Amino acid sequence: MQAISRRRVILGLAGLAALGAAPPWLAGCQSAPVVSAPTQAVPTQPTRSPALVIYRGHTAGVNTVAWSPDGGRIVSGSDDGTAQVWEALTGKTLLTYNGQAQDVRAVVWSPDGSRIASGNGDSSVQVWDATSGQLAFAYHGHQSPVNALAWSRDGKRIASASSDHTVQVWNAASGTRLLTYRGHSDFVNGVAWSPDGARLASGSVDDTVQVWDASTGKLRFTYRGHTNGVLAVGWSPDGQRIASVSYDETAQVWDAASGATLITYRGHSSFVVCVAWSADSKRLLSGGWDNTAQVWDASSGATQLTYRGHSDYVQAVAWAPDGLRAVSGSRDRTAQVWPTQAGASAP
């Protein structure tokens, strides 16, 4: 029988909360008023678009996906305990990494594309060669499952977020721990670097996103725009904005310096669990428990495209570097590549 990941249990409990049976870890969670009145984005009529590639290499749900910096490869991680590297254009499997002991919850490429870091349910992070699969080292700083990873743009540091309520920053070459951030009071599900590497944003089931100094751990401010647990965060490549998604069924865009809410996106009809910025900072990609991935304008919140190719929850999304394609991973055991221009179709 397939093991049920703790992440999935968390999401299931949130569903019970939505029905009125609040689990103990939601008790006492409060959300303060946002800094400024948000724009309420009303989605436009969505456009469907067929998949270019459907990857079927996994035998269980796909939890995480990441596109290589050169745009040629994708890595996906699954409840089947593997991380798999495959060709973005053909879906051909290039490498299956079996070093993880449990479900793979997070994957991230090094900025130069030579290595991959994967985090999983046994609390470890493993850093390995993206071509050969050879293990460089394993990081064992956490006491609970690792839910999210982020590699600094300069390639020198990795940040890992965990169910142990911490975010840890460590040396990407040696695994030496540099900092442990303990500002959250519940599972930390998302983490993102500012482009200049000076700050980190982390999102938690405690309903908050916290922005803090990546060298000292000093808290800059806490964003309280969500009314339920935060599942993922993304920092815009231009450094100006942060996006966060939540059990409250919204994606929110807010000012990275002040925390002022700019947009509340309501295009999804269930929990929004993943989010990613396009390289030009103009569009956002989000996925959720309504089985869709959606592309929307980061300034207006207007929906540009709704992808409906999955038959189960969309748990991960990532842009191609050129912004013309995206990949989404789902509990339906597939990862799917599709065009991100409204009205586009497969060749």
Domains of the chain: 6-339 (2.130.10.10)
Own/partner pairs, 130-139, CB within 8 angstroms, 24+ separation: 130/68, 130/73, 130/75, 130/85, 130/95, 131/94, 131/95, 132/95, 133/95, 133/96, 133/97, 133/99, 135/99, 137/174, 137/175, 138/99, 138/175, 139/170, 139/175
| pLDDT, position 20 | 34
| pLDDT, position 44 | 39
Are the C-beta atoms of residues 285 and 278 closer than 8 Å to each other?
Answer: yes
Rounded (5°) CA angle 159-161-167: 70
Q: pTM, whole model, 2 decimals?
A: 0.86
Chain centroid offset of residue 346 CA: 26
| pLDDT, position 60 | 98
| pLDDT, position 50 | 86
| pLDDT, position 101 | 83
| pLDDT, position 49 | 54
Question: Which residue ranges of the chain lie beneath pLDDT 70?
Answer: 1-49, 342-347
Structure tokens at 250: 């919204």
